[in-house]
Each structure stands twice: as structure tokens, then as C-alpha cells.
């Protein structure tokens, strides 16, 4: 019944669920019923939507303006019978297409990972018998038995539970296992709080339960996430958008200028072949053949740098997108925090005690002010710690500097706080051996254990639980000196509320002595307990997160927290690490997911800009939030580790998955993976991304004057009706050699000073600013003038066309070498960043000069490219021309800096 998919099963009683599902809790379904329902609902499999074949994905890599330009360049070089150059150009096209295909195809496998998350076998009751069946054979109405360690195979409405706890972090983002119940809930209960449901792909961590299948395959919550992933739009990066616009413009300009050149030559009556070759020369000169290779290599270097700093890039353009990021939507647990619950405060014997140290490492002390506390002289504090340690089902061990935990993170935190006081469970194995237990149940909100006192018939019961469940059972309170005084409940309620308002999770502890009691029941601890105190804990922020957030804010980047946790807990952490201001209140800073259905997209856009914390968010809520921010023009980076994060990760401009604790689905949907799951790494990656973008702009600013100058020199020659100073083959030589030996070394340029003090670059901002366009035109004109001048002077003196053209070619290349040093920093003087700070650039310049010496003097090169030897004096003037270009541009940069530094 497809109508079951969205039915609010959590609102029904177990009896109503059985009736609606038309099944039996004792006998389950018959095989006839199973077959009938499978014909209606199909198998318990997540169906993948139809998408492009691998061949089509590969062919689409060529459907880009920049690739069209490269193919045109390759065809042109083939026409010129320069097969090697053509092979190089086509090789660049093929490599770029192959890399793009691999990245895109891997990214689209996220949905396939979902189906792998469903377990292979489950335990069901059919025909009154327990049996193991393949998970895909489950159908609506099946009775499923859940036990510790099981992965839930379908969405299940629970009928019976026994201490059942399920880890739903991958689905809801909730960091603590959820204790399950069977009682009906309100219809508007959010997914993370539906305690009577068990959802597909979640993990049973403790206890056991039985339930009825109410949704399978694509109709489960995990299946709906699959549909959200499929519907999420894969956005092109700002760089991709800008390069496409730039390439389109360049393509039209080249075609227009080549057509203009052809028309002038044709109208003047020149031979068609000569006119065509001149137009080809202009086209070859104007095409930046090295740009795609530079783009790929610069991004690849950025990828390599980030990998060394714990950030793995799956899609190379994401490197640059990081530099444009204006909003980071970060998951709280494990990214901003350590995902290790830590006791920070203890209140016992009417005194506060602070616990130092963070995480599960037992390094730290219990102290009051500056004074460490000896628990052996403080009976209340000692008993509070012993209670938390012994009334506990979890375990912690240490092996080869590695911490291994089993059980609830909250209980592990209690074990660690006891260890910091020098207490260990093994010490009490004989003196206080456990003989009976009342397990934790959501209905009662406490756990109790009974312990035999060594060499005595007496026993002692330890109780831990919520304030509301433990405090009413207490009549007295234990003091530090061992005395017991009557309890004042209002005092302890106010203390607990104060701690809770700080985002701390508060547990209460109590005890009671018995004479010769070997079994414990609820009636035994209804009253007469001695209150021991509170332990208050929190998942602490990661070291360095506060500084990283401050740096992001200084760079104009807004940081927003998205979590499955409660509002106050999230708010406390956000305040501590600087996401929200100290003057803000939870009401101002937090949006609860339960309000999302009532918000229009327009209203959400407004709230998304003002609010910094988003608590109790469902998968579709996260997706809506990302879209709302993008609608406001934001470039959104979204972090996540669970299945529930995958749709938003794919929709975000850059999705960031967690490498340590992330699910396969979130990793496949992401553009970047953090191998240390640390928010600080995002700040580092953004800094690297900005550096990568700067280096790309430097390359474009460096290479375009050459193309402009070459195109200009051909046009001037055509308009003036004079001999071409540079041949098409020589233009191709200049472009290919300089791009390889000179331009690509800019990819290794370091980050400029103050890179994280600049505001994020708007995606709407053009690739090149007006200042850079002016500089490109200026250098292109200077190169054209210098090359034309030396060409004409040399031709008039030697009457040797090859000699004159060699002067023009070397003038262009020397000008590019000097201009390369200008482009090391587009705003500051070369002195500020240091002349020697990029040794590869110096080496590339030396190699380029060496190559030009071979070009000028080797007979083979002379015959191939039409070059001729130059005198030492001619080299001197070429050097002077290049140096003059360098000085002019440095002066222009200084003027621009003085004019616009205040703006």
C-alpha cells in the first residue's frame, strides 16, 4: 500500500498499528500475504533514477567553449602540418575530459551507495516462526525482531521494546543513541523525536525490540533521501561559470577578428591562401592554448596542498569554490565538537567542582578553584563518582595509545570522570560486585544497580537518571564529611536548571543501603534515597575551532551550525566558539526544525540570513536551507557525515564530508572530504582555495597580453598592408613554450599577505577586474609596439626577413619573462613578496631563455621555424625592452594601489 508511505504511524497505539497493517504480532504474515504485498509494493530496494550513460558523460566533457577553442587550435596546427603540436593540444583536451569524466561519474554513484546500506539479512516472524530472510524480501506488515548489533532494514513501528537504544546519527544527526518506546506520539513530532519508530539504515546499540514494517525501499526515510539526492541540483562552480562566459566571449572575439582580417585582405585583392593564412595566424595568436592545462594543473596543485592538510578534493573546481565561499553550514557533532562527551562540572555536597581535560583521555583533575580535590576526604564527591562508574553498562579501554569505547557516550563520560579522580571499576569488582539491575527505560528515565558489600550481608543500590526521576525519590543529601541532612528539592532544581541553560546535559545520582537484599525492584527505590549530586557534561569544542571561526568571520564568511541536538545544547556550544554573540538569546539565534513546515521559501530566506543555529533539522530542511541561502546569492559550503546530509551536500556549492565518521553516501555526494573531521581544516582549505583562485587569475592576466599582442600585431600588419612580423607557426611556438615553461610556474606561487582579510569574491563578479583588463591591454600594446619596432629596424638594416622575425619573437618572449615577475603579485610590489620566494619561477625563466637560445642558433630550429641568429647587442636591446615593460607595470600597480587602496 503506497498510501502507507506518508501515514503518521507514530500517532497510533500498537494495537491500532497491527489493525491498520493487517498483520499478527504473534504469527506474522502468511506466505500468500507476503507474495500479494510484494506484488503491490515491490522489493525492499532503493530504486536508482535513470541517468546518463558513461559514454554520454564522457562526451559531455567536450561540450565546453574552452574545449571548442582548443579543438580549433588543434585543427589549425594540423592544417599547418605541425603534428606534434596538434598531438599536444588534443592530448590536453583528452586528459581534461578524462579527469572530468572520472570525477563526475564517481560523484553520481552516491545513490548506489544507499542500496548497499541495507543489511543482507533480517529476523522476522512468519507463520508463527522466527526466521532469517534477505532484507530485500521484507514487505509491509512483516513482524521484525531487533537485537543489539542489528542494522534496521526498513522503517518499523515498534510494538514491544526492552531497553532498546538505536543510533540514528547517520539519519537525524542526533549524537546520542535514542531510547525507544512504544507509546503513541503527537502528529507534529519531528523525525529525531519519534521514539516509537525504527528507521532503515540505523543501528541497534543496546537492548531488543519487535515491530511491524510500515515502509520499505524508496518509501522509507532513507529512500526519500535518495529522491532528494536525485533532485538536488549539481551547481557549476563560480570559476566554471566565469571561465565559460570568458571562453564564449573569447570565441566570438577571435572569430570576429579573424573574419575582419580575412575581409580586409580579400578586399585588397590579396591571394586567398595568403589571406586565409593571415587569418589563421590571428586566430592562433588569440587562442590561449595553455589556459586549460594551467587551469587543470593549478587546481591539481591546490588539491595536492590540501591533501597534505587533511582535505581531500574529489572534484577539482571545488578548490576554487572554497575561495568564493560566503557561508559555511557546519554540522556540530564531531566537526565543531570532538564527539566525545565530557563531564565538566560536578555538584555534590552542596559544592561545585570543576573537571579539567576534554574527551575520553583520562587526563585531567577534579578541582575547586585552583585547588585539586582529594576525593578520599570528600565522601559526597566520591560516592557521586562511584555511582556514575558502577551504575553503568558501558566500557572504556586503552591499547597502544588508542581509546576503545563500548556503549553510550554519556556513560563513557562518567567512567572517564571517575578515572580522573583515580577510581576504576576493577578496584570495586570484589568490594562492590553487581548482583542485580533495573535497566534504563524511557518511561522511568533512570537506571539502578544493586551491589553486594564485601564481607557483609548488606547491599547498596546506586541510581542514576534525570533530575525529574531521581530527585522525588530522595529524602536526604550526603555532605562532604559523610553527614546526611534533609533534602531541599527546590535548591537542586535551580542548580540543575542553571547547568542545563548552559547547554550541559545533567544527570542526577543517588544511593540507598539495604539489609541482606539480593534483588531490586522499582518499589525498593520509590523513596528513601540519599541524593549524591549532579554530573554535568557536554561534547566539547575541538581545539582551534574558536580561532578558525574568528578567522572565517574576519574573511567575511558567515558560519552557521546545523545539528540534530537540542536548542540549548547547540546554543551553548555556538556561544562558546563564537558563532553567536554573547548578547544574543536562543530565541534570536536558533531556528527549530519543527517550525520549518510553516515557513514559506521567501520567509526562510530572510530567517536564514539572521539565524545562526538550526536545531532538530530533517534532511529536507537542510536542503531547503541551502537553497534559501543560495537564493540570496550566497556561495554555500555544507558539511555533513550522515545519510541525512547527502542531499544538502550535493545541492551546496561545495559539499564537505567527514572522512573518519562519514557514511559512504555523504562522502560520495561531497566535493571535499575532511580526513580529520575538523572544522579548522575547512578554514585552511578556504585559505588554499583563495590562493588557487589568485594564481589562476595571475596566469590569465599573464597569458592574455601575449595573445592580445599577437592578435594586434597581425591586425596592424593587415591594416597597414605590410609583411607579418611573426608567422603562425612562430606564434604557436611562443604560446606553447611560454605557457609550459613560464605560465605554469605561477601555480606554485605562495599565498599573498592578508588573503584571509578580504571579503569573499562574489560569483557575479567578472573574471577580470577593470584594472586587470587595462593592464592586459597595456602590456599587449607594449609587446606589439616593441616587436613591430625591432622587426622594422632589423629588417631595414639586414634586409633579412628571418632575422627580423627572430627579433620580434624574442621580444615577445623576453617581455613575457619580465611581465611574469609583475604577475607574481597583482596588487603589491615584487619587493613585498620577495624576489626569491618562488624558485621554480626563476628556474622556468632560465629554462625559457635557454630554449630561445636553441630556437635562435640551432640550424634545425632555423629551418623548422624560420629563425636566424642574433648578435649580443640585439639581445641587449631585447632585454632592455622587457625590463622597460616590467618598470612600467610596477609603476602602474603603484598608481592603482595609491588610488584604490582606500576604497
Q: Which helix (H) or strand (E) holds 142?
A: none
Distance CA 131, CA 347 (A): 50
Comparing CA positions, the residue from 799, 786, 784, 694 lying closest to residue 747 is: 694
Q: What are the CA-CA distances from residue 271 to residues 21, 201, 720 (Å)? A: 87, 74, 17
Longest dimension (CA), the chain: 121
**586, 752, 806 from 802: Cα distances, Å:** 78, 43, 6
> Cα separation of 683 and 292, whole Å?
28
Task: Report the distance separating Cα 495 and Cα 506, nearest Å.
Answer: 10
Contacts 24+ apart (CB under 8 A), 256-263: 257/282, 257/283, 257/286, 257/711, 257/715, 258/282, 258/283, 258/286, 260/715, 261/714, 261/715, 261/718
Which candidate in 155, 331, 524, 621 is catalytic?
331
Helix (H, G, I), strand (E, B) or coil at 198: strand
Q: What is the dihedral of CA 727, 728, 734, 735, to 10 degrees?
A: 160
Conformational region of residue 822, where left means phi above 0, alpha means psi within -120 to 50, and beta covers everything else:
alpha
Name 455's Cβ contacts closer than 8 Å, sequence gap at least 6: none
Give me 75's grid cell: 585543427
Cβ-based burial of 31 (10 A; exposed 0-12, middle 13-18, buried ≥19) = exposed
Gyration radius of the chain over CA positions: 36
Is residue 676 part of the annotated active site? The answer reads: no
- Beta-bridged to residue 484, according to DSSP, are 478
DSSP class of residue 829 equals -
C-alpha to C-alpha distances, 205 to 118, 640, 659, nearest whole angstrom: 17, 22, 22
Q: How far apart are CA 190 and CA 183, in angstroms?
A: 15
3-class SS of residue 537: strand
d(C-alpha 164, C-alpha 158), whole Å: 10
Containing 214, the helix (H) or strand (E) segment is strand 203-215
Name the β-bridge partners of 432.
453
3-state secondary structure of 419: helix
Q: Cα angle at 122 between 119 and 125, to 5 degrees?
A: 160
Angle between helices 872-900 and 801-822 (to 10 degrees): 30
Q: Are the CB atoms for 389 and 413 separated by under 8 Å?
A: no
Question: Which is it for strands 613-615 and 351-355: parallel, antiparallel or unpaired?
Answer: unpaired
Using an 8 Å Cβ cutoff, are 342 and 413 in contact?
A: yes
Q: How far apart are CA 804 and CA 798, in angstroms?
A: 8
What is the crossing angle of helices 221-231 and 619-631, to 10°? Answer: 20
CA distance 234 to 104: 10
DSSP state at residue 28: B
Contact 537, 671 (CB under 8 A): no
CB-count burial class (<10 Å; 0-12, 13-18, 19+) for 368: middle
Q: Find the angle CA(816)-CA(821)-CA(826) to the nearest 5 degrees.
A: 105
Closest CA to 338 of 126, 83, 540: 540
Looking up cell 579527469 gives 99
Active-site residue set: 331
Amino acid at each position: 500500500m503506497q498510501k502507507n508511505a506518508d501515514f503518521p504511524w507514530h500517532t497510533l497505539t500498537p494495537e491500532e498499528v497491527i489493525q491498520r497493517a493487517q498483520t499478527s504480532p504473534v504469527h506474522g504474515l502468511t506466505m500468500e500475504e507476503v507474495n500479494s504485498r510484494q506484488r503491490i509494493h515491490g522489493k525492499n530496494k532503493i530504486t536508482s533514477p535513470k541517468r546518463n550513460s558513461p559514454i554520454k558523460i564522457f562526451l559531455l566533457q567536450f561540450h565546453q567553449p574552452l574545449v571548442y577553442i582548443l579543438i580549433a587550435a588543434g585543427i589549425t596546427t594540423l592544417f599547418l602540418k605541425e603534428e606534434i603540436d596538434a598531438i599536444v593540444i588534443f592530448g590536453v583536451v583528452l586528459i581534461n575530459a578524462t579527469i572530468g569524466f572520472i570525477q563526475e561519474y564517481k560523484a553520481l554513484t552516491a545513490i548506489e551507495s544507499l542500496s548497499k546500506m541495507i543489511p543482507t539479512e533480517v529476523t522476522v516472524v512468519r507463520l508463527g516462526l522466527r526466521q532469517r530472510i534477505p532484507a530485500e524480501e521484507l514487505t509491509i506488515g512483516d513482524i521484525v525482531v531487533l537485537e543489539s548489533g542489528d542494522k534496521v532494514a526498513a522503517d518499523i513501528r515498534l510494538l514491544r521494546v526492552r531497553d532498546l537504544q538505536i543510533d540514528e546519527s547517520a539519519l537525524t544527526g542526533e549524537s546520542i543513541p535514542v531510547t525507544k518506546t512504544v507509546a503513541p506520539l503527537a502528529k507534529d513530532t519531528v523525525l529525531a523525536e519519534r521514539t516509537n519508530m525504527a528507521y532503515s539504515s540505523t543501528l541497534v546499540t543496546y537492548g531488543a525490540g519487535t515491530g511491524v514494517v510500515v515502509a520499505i525501499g524508496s518509501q522509507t526515510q532513507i529512500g526519500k533521501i535518495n529522491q532528494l539526492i536525485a533532485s538536488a541540483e549539481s551547481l557549476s562552480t563560480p570559476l566554471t561559470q566565469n571561465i565559460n562566459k570568458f571562453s564564449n566571449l573569447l570565441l566570438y572575439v577571435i572569430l570576429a577578428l579573424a573574419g575582419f582580417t580575412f575581409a580586409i585582405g580579400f578586399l585588397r585583392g590579396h591571394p586567398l591562401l595568403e589571406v586565409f593564412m593571415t587569418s589563421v595566424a590571428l586566430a592562433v595568436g588569440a587562442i590561449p592554448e595553455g589556459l586549460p592545462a594551467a587551469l587543470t594543473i593549478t587546481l591539481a596543485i591546490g588539491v595536492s596542498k590540501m591533501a597534505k592538510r587533511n582535505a581531500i578534493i574529489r572534484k577539482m573546481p571545488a578548490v576554487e569554490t572554497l575561495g568564493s565561499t560566503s557561508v559555511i553550514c557546519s554540522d556540530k557533532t564531531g566537526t565543531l565538537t570532538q564527539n566525545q562527551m565530557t563531564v565538566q562540572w560536578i555538584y555534590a555536597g552542596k559544592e561545585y567542582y570543576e573537571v579539567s581535560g576534554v574527551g575520553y583521555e583520562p587526563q585531567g583533575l577534579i578541582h575547586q578553584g585552583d585547588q585539586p580535590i582529594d576525593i578520599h576526604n570528600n565522601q559526597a564527591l566520591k560516592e557521586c563518582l562511584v555511582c556514575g562508574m558502577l551504575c553503568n553498562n558501558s566500557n572504556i579501554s586503552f591499547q597502544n595509545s588508542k581509546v576503545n569505547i563500548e556503549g553510550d557516550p554519556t556513560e563513557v563520560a562518567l567512567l572517564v570522570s571517575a578515572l580522573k579522580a583515580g577510581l576504576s571499576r576493577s578496584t570495586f569488582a570484589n568490594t562492590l560486585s553487581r548482583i542485580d539491575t533495573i535497566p534504563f527505560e524511557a518511561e522511568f528515565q533512570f537506571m539502578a544497580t544493586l551491589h553486594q558489600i564485601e564481607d557483609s550481608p548488606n547491599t547498596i543500590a546506586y541510581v542514576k537518571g534525570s533530575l525529574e526521576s531521581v530527585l522525588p525519590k530522595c529524602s536526604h543529601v550526603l555532605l562532604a564529611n559523610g553527614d546526611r541532612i534533609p533534602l531541599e528539592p527546590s535548591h537542586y532544581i535551580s542548580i540543575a536548571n542553571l547547568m542545563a541553560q548552559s547547554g550541559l546535559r545533567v544527570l542526577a545520582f543517588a544511593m540507598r543501603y539495604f539489609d541482606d537484599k539480593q534483588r531490586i525492584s522499582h518499589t525498593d527505590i520509590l523513596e528513601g534515597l540519599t541524593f549524591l549530586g549532579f554530573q554535568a557534561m557536554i561534547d566539547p569544542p575541538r581545539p582551534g575551532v574558536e580561532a578558525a571561526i574568528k578567522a572565517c568571520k574576519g574573511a567575511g564568511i558567515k558560519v552557521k551550525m546545523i545539528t540534530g541536538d537540542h536548542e540549548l545544547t547547540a546554543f551553548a556550544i555556538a556561544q562558546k566558539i563564537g558563532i553567536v554573540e554573547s548578547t544574543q538569546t536562543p530565541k534570536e539565534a536558533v531556528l527549530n526544525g519543527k517550525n520549518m513546515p510553516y515557513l514559506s521559501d521567501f520567509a526562510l530566506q530572510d530567517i536564514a540570513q539572521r539565524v545562526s543555529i538550526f536545531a532538530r533539522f530533517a534532511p529536507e530542511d537542510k536542503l531547503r536551507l541551502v537553497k534559501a541561502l543560495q537564493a540570496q546569492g550566497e556561495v554555500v559550503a555544507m558539511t555533513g557525515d550522515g545519510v541525512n546530509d547527502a542531499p544538502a551536500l550535493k545541492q551546496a556549492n561545495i559539499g564537505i564530508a567527514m572522512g573518519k565518521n562519514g557514511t559512504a553516501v555523504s562522502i560520495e555526494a561531497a566535493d571535499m572530504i575532511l580526513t580529520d573531521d575538523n572544522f579548522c581544516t575547512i578554514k585552511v582549505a578556504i585559505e588554499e582555495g583563495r590562493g588557487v583562485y589568485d594564481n589562476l587569475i595571475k596566469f590569465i592576466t599573464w597569458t592574455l597580453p601575449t595573445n592580445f599582442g599577437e592578435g594586434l600585431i597581425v591586425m596592424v600588419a593587415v591594416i597597414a598592408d605590410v609583411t607579418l612580423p611573426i608567422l603562425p607557426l612562430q606564434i604557436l611556438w611562443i604560446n606553447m613554450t611560454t605557457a609550459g615553461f613560464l605560465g605554469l610556474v605561477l601555480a606554485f606561487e605562495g599565498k599573498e599577505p592578508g588573503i584571509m582579510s578580504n571579503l569573499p569574491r562574489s560569483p557575479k563578479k567578472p573574471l577580470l577586474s577593470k584594472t586587470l583588463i587595462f593592464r592586459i591591454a597595456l602590456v599587449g600594446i607594449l609587446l606589439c609596439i616593441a616587436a613591430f619596432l625591432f622587426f622594422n629596424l632589423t629588417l631595414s638594416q639586414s634586409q633579412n626577413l628571418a632575422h627580423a622575425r627572430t627579433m620580434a619573437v624574442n621580444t615577445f618572449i623576453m617581455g613575457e619573462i619580465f611581465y611574469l615577475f609583475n604577475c607574481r603579485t597583482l596588487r603589491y610590489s615584487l619587493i613585498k613578496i620577495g624576489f626569491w620566494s618562488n624558485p621554480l619561477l626563476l628556474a622556468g625563466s632560465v629554462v625559457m631563455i635557454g630554449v630561445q637560445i636553441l630556437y635562435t642558433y640551432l640550424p634545425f630550429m632555423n629551418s623548422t621555424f624560420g629563425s636566424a641568429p642574433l648578435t649580443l647587442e640585439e639581445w641587449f636591446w631585447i632585454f632592455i625592452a622587457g625590463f622597460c615593460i616590467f618598470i612600467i607595470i610596477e609603476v602602474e600597480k603603484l598608481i592603482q594601489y595609491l588610488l584604490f587602496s582606500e576604497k
